[in-house]
Amino acid sequence: MRVPSDLCCDGLVPDSYFTSTASNTTNPADEADIAELRRVAVHLAETAAAHVRARRPEVFGPDARETDAVQAKSTPTDPVTVVDTETEQLIRKLLDELRPGDRVVGEEGGGALDGDAVHWVLDPIDGTVNFLYGIPAYAVSVAAMRDGRSLAGAVADVAHGVIYSAGLGQGAHRVQPGAEPIPLRCNEVDTAAMSLVATGFAYNQRRRTRQGQLIAELLPHIRDIRRVGAAALDLCMVAEGRVDAHYEHGLNLWDWAAGALIAAEAGARLRLPAPETSGAAGALVVAAAPGVADELFGLLERLGATADIPEN
């Protein structure tokens, strides 16, 4: 896979990284292609979210009979449910019908970015622990990427029936059933001391220990910390102005491929790892409102938070 040359070596993403080719040319085909990818992403996220909503009471309700509904992945505290697997299979089936020439990279079914075809990057349930416990903060995340760049994406807030979506150079919006799309824009906060910052923790003990240390060091410099438990939703919260920034080490590509585009199209400044090395090395992902981005990036640098946090 070719990583874009305008992705800076230190991970900071320049403004041009999320600038659509449609913004730089008059080729209507570029705009139409991105709009179609966005439409498909929204359809996939909506359909998958409806499946997740319907299946939760069947699998975890008082009358549930599925005894093998939960398995462990990387650690005993890192779960995957039968609904995660089913939902990704559903999205893959829809893509076979709607976009048979495209490739798929999914959290549960695997795949890799390879070549210049459109790749659909899927997280069938981001926030599986929340889903398992019935905490209403879990999402379906779907992104269309090409040449290492997100072109379109949709994140479905499953419990609340909300869809966040963006197209490269075409803005970001929030849609609730029966309502008109609402354009998204980051907060106009202008100092890190007044910033509400979201983060998350890894399942690996070594990495989460360092993440806890970093929170203790960062907290005196900001308004407060929030930990929702679903990175895709955190990134959409930056876009919507519900938090002013999100940072986290060790996110996988499917965690941020859609949400980072949505945040960027709402005006956020980003720091992203190279897509093919996203999770394993423990690289940092940051999305911040533009008025505090430079200050927050500098603060994270001084605290040593921009360094990778490997698992071993």
pLDDT at 207 over 50: yes
Q: Do both 35 and 85 map to the same domain?
A: yes
Q: What predicted TM-score, i.e. pTM, was given to this entire model?
A: 0.91
pLDDT confidence tier of residue 178, bands split at 50, 70 and 90: confident
pLDDT at 94 over 70: yes
pLDDT at 5 over 50: no
CATH number of the domain residue 239 falls in: 3.40.190.80
List pLDDT tens digits, range 224-269: 999 999 999 999 999 999 999 999 999 999 999 999 999 999 999 9
Q: Do both 195 and 114 map to the same domain?
A: no
Average pLDDT of every residue of the chain = 89
Q: What percent of the chain has pLDDT over 70?
A: 89
Q: Do both 210 and 269 map to the same domain?
A: yes
- The residue assigned the tokens 């990175």 is 231
Q: Give the residue from 155, 183, 211 where a domain finishes.
A: 183
Is residue 307 in some structural domain?
A: no
Is residue 223 in some structural domain?
A: yes
- Whole domain around residue 68: which residue ranges? 21-183
Residue 97 has φ and ψ, to the nearest 5°, of: -80, -40
Q: Which amino acid is residue 275, in one-letter code?
A: P
Q: Do both 179 and 214 map to the same domain?
A: no
Chain CA centroid to CA 155, Å: 8
Which neighbouring-strand residues pair with 13? 270
Close Cβ partners of 179 (under 8 Å, ≥ 6 residues apart) = none
Which token pair is 215?
């929170």
Which neighbouring-strand residues pair with 145? 119, 150
Q: What is the DSSP letter of 18?
A: G
Q: Do both 39 and 58 map to the same domain?
A: yes
Is residue 2 in some structural domain?
A: no
Cα separation, 43 vs 21, in Å, equals: 24
The reported pLDDT for the residue numbered 7 is: 29
pLDDT at 86 over 80: yes
The reported pLDDT for the residue numbered 133 is: 94
Q: Do both 64 and 97 map to the same domain?
A: yes
Is residue 312 in some structural domain?
A: no
Cα separation, 28 vs 22, in Å, equals: 7
Q: Do both 163 and 44 map to the same domain?
A: yes
Is residue 6 in some structural domain?
A: no
Which token pair is 20?
């659509």
Q: Give the residue from 148, 183, 218 where a domain finishes.
A: 183
Q: Say if CB 274 and CB 7 are below 8 A apart.
A: yes
CATH number of the domain residue 80 falls in: 3.30.540.10
Q: Which of 219, 195, 204 is nearest to 308 (CA)?
A: 204
Is residue 68 in some structural domain?
A: yes
The reported pLDDT for the residue numbered 19 is: 41
Q: Give the residue from 183, 198, 216 where a domain finishes.
A: 183
Domain count, the chain: 2
Q: Do both 54 and 153 map to the same domain?
A: yes
Cα separation, 76 vs 116, in Å, equals: 37
Q: Do both 169 and 34 map to the same domain?
A: yes
Q: Do both 62 and 123 map to the same domain?
A: yes
pLDDT at 75 over 60: yes
The reported pLDDT for the residue numbered 68 is: 79
For range 199-206, the mean pLDDT: 94
Which token pair is 88?
């990704």
Q: Which of 259, 258, 271, 199 is nearest to 229 (CA)?
A: 199
Q: Say if CB 82 and CB 89 are below 8 A apart.
A: no
Chain CA centroid to CA 88, Å: 16
Is residue 265 in some structural domain?
A: yes
